[in-house]
Homo-oligomer: A and B are copies of this chain.
Amino acid sequence: MEGKEISRAVIKRLPRYYRYLGELLEDGVERISSNELSEKMQVTASQIRQDLNNFGGFGQQGYGYNVQFLYTEIATILGLDRVHNMIIIGAGNLGQALANYVQFEKRGFKVIGLFDVNPVLQGVSVRGISIKMVDELPTFLKDNEVHIATLTLPKNKAPEMAEKLVQCGVKAIWNFAHTDLNLSLPEDVIVENVHLSESLMRLSYNLSNYEKEHK
């Protein structure tokens, strides 16, 4: 049941297309050519056409792309056409920040649970969800359909927690801990690692490099 296997580079760009199309939609733009879009996004028109054609012929010769149509199509490709139930494990600053982020819910990512080990946090409510203790997790996972587990906990606790979650049937993990969970979990578990400190180090590299090059 395999498709042609879309390259990672293409998938990485998809959400960006989606964002720009959303903005165009807000601005009431009805259609756009790969050329116009390429100027806005600072990528080549060729790349846009190639990327989109991995998924189908969404455009029309002599016309371009219908913004609304393309927007909806990409949403479907990205799986944004349905609700993803999400839990967050680690209700510290970052966990709460993510739980509070309204925009996610607009895209179909619905936070249905918040967990921590710190008893002080027990029962504390964030956006109407009261923080539960981690030992309630197995029961919770049995009673609720959870599509995505977000890990915002210390690096040393993340691998063990991830394993536990996978044992309870969780199939996708959004990982903010500074460790590569994908290497320790079964291959069929989807892991998206967000390593903020690595992002900051890249910034630091570019900054140092810039300064070096300018005496």
Contacts and interface: CB of A to CB of B under 8 A. Distances in A.
A60 interface: no
Interface string A4-41: 00000001101110110000000000000000000000
> How big is chain A's contact interface, by range?
35 or more
B204 A80 contact: yes
Contacts of A79: 204-205, 207-209
Q: Oligomeric state, in number of copies?
A: 2
Chain A binding surface, main DSSP class: helix
Interface stretch (A61-69, A114-122, A192-200): A192-200
A180 to B, nearest CB: 8
Interface in A185-215: 188, 190, 192, 194-210, 212-215
A14 B205 contact: yes
